[in-house]
A and B are shown apart, each in its own frame.
Chain A
Amino acid sequence: MIKNTVVRRVLFRIVLLTVISLAFVWGISEIAFQFQKTDKDRAPQEVELVIPIGTAERIEKGEENPSIPAEMSFVVGDTLVVTNEDVVDHVMGPLWIPPGTSASLKLEQANKFAYSCSFQTTQYFGVDVETPTTWKTRITAFSLSVPATVGFLFVYSLILWPINPESKKDKDSKEELGSESQVTG
């Protein structure tokens, strides 16, 4: 009976502290995120780069194509889809893009790359890949913080409000019995 009461009280306290910790950690996480977020804190997505018709001709003449940037920024997990609208093959790093097709490159590592390419006069295309703060990152941080907070609050609560193995009802009935025995004695 006593054991059962203790387990029930411990479980109740853990559930209560979990709810409190969830709210507390969420609040702290949200405030920190709002202060630190940038435009690169987004979920991975598909980013298209179009090589327009006539690009190879322009490059041969030493002219840049104004619609193609020299460098692009991405977040880890993005897929760069290069669409070749030109009449000849183009290459970009590991990608080979025959005319009229597109080829994709999944960017899985945060780093700055300089890919050799056929659509820039410099023959290099800069790719800057950064690690974003996404929902996944935040949930991972959340799932690591909540149990630790619950543990900390639980220990702290034991100091402030120790768990009594006897219920209030048991205590009252004991006190009653004690007073009765005093009367009869």
Chain B
Amino acid sequence: MKTRHYLLLGLSVLIGLVAILGFQFIGKNYQFQGSLIEPPIPAADFVLTDQHSDTFQLSDHQGEVVLIFFGYTYCPDVCPVTLSEFRQVKAQLGEKAERVQFVYITVDPDRDTVERVGEFIENFDSTFVGLTGDPSELEPVWKAYGVYAAKVDTGSEAGYLVDHTARVYAIDINGNLRLTYPFETGSDAIADDVLYLLGEEITSETPSS
């Protein structure tokens, strides 16, 4: 066997391996990185007040992907981290972020006034939507999204903390609740899933809650 034959043999093996890996990659369906809700359910509609004192109704945003997070402005850790993650997701989406709503809903209506929510949201991105309302308006929303919220008295002058659900909810362009993400999922994973959801077709059916 000549040297050239050995080189050709090596090259053929290499091409074969690349082809196998390539076919495996192409053949894979998109795998969501969040927790997929199957079958998708219509996201419960709600009307709350945003940081500009305007009303925000979820169903007005069909055709957009909506990411929702429940938190409170006095939160020392989870909420600022999650909203920073939202900011990274927005940056990663680039121009496509125009079709995405980043929504924060309070679990502490006693302290989270419209003004307070506005100041809090401004620290991250003024295009994000910060929602608040009366407990009577918020409680049905928390219930519909399985949100747990309980005040924890710390005994400090800073006031109480709120123990709350820290997941992010993704609603697709058809108004269906499709995915949830645990705390600190990572902006890459969320941005990838959102890009996929933005590429889906809008169906004519209107989800009802």
Where the two chains meet, the residues of A that have a C-beta atom closer than 8 Å to any C-beta of B are 4, 7-8, 11-12, 15, 89, 91, 93-98, 100-105
Q: How far is the CB of A165 from chain B (nearest CB, A)?
A: 15
- Partner-binding segment picked from B33-41, B56-64, B83-91: B33-41
> In the complex, A105 Cα to B180 Cα: how many Å?
10
Contacts across chains A and B counted by CB atoms under 8 Å = 48
CB contacts (< 8 Å) of A12 on chain B: these are 1
Contact of A94 among B3, B37, B177, B182 (CB under 8 A): B182
CB contacts (< 8 Å) of B145 on chain A: these are 96
Q: Are B3 and A4 in contact (CB under 8 A)?
A: yes
CB contacts (< 8 Å) of B38 on chain A: these are 101-104
The interface on chain B, measured as residues whose beta carbon lies within 8 A of the other chain's beta carbons, has a size of 20
Secondary structure at the B interface, as helix, strand, loop or mixed, is: mixed
Q: Are A98 and B35 in contact (CB under 8 A)?
A: no
Please provide the 6 A-B residue pairs with the shortest distance between their CB atoms, ordered closest to farther: A94-B182, A96-B146, A89-B146, A103-B35, A102-B38, A11-B6
Q: Are B3 and A105 in contact (CB under 8 A)?
A: no
Q: Given A94-B167, A96-B146, are A105 and B6 also a contact pair (CB < 8 Å)?
A: no
Q: Are A94 and B183 in contact (CB under 8 A)?
A: yes
Tell whether B2 is near chain A: CB-to-CB under 8 Å. Answer: yes
> In the complex, A101 Cα to B38 Cα: how many Å?
5
Secondary structure at the A interface, as helix, strand, loop or mixed, is: mixed
Q: Given A94-B35, A96-B146, are A101 and B6 also a contact pair (CB < 8 Å)?
A: no
**B169 closest partner in A (C-beta):** A96
> In the complex, A96 Cα to B39 Cα: how many Å?
13
CB contacts (< 8 Å) of A95 on chain B: these are 35, 180
Q: Are B41 and A98 in contact (CB under 8 A)?
A: yes
Q: Which of B2-59 contact A (CB under 8 A)?
A: 2-3, 6, 35-39, 41
Q: Are B3 and A11 in contact (CB under 8 A)?
A: yes
Q: How far is the CB of A92 from chain B (nearest CB, A)?
A: 10
Contact of B146 among A7, A15, A98 (CB under 8 A): A98
Contact of A96 among B3, B36, B180 (CB under 8 A): B180
> In the complex, A101 Cα to B1 Cα: how many Å?
63
Q: Are B6 and A96 in contact (CB under 8 A)?
A: no
CB contacts (< 8 Å) of B146 on chain A: these are 89, 91, 96, 98
CB contacts (< 8 Å) of B183 on chain A: these are 94
CB contacts (< 8 Å) of B180 on chain A: these are 94-96, 103
CB contacts (< 8 Å) of A104 on chain B: these are 35-36, 38
> In the complex, A93 Cα to B146 Cα: how many Å?
13
> In the complex, A100 Cα to B41 Cα: how many Å?
9
> In the complex, A103 Cα to B182 Cα: how many Å?
12
> In the complex, A103 Cα to B40 Cα: how many Å?
10
> In the complex, A105 Cα to B183 Cα: how many Å?
13
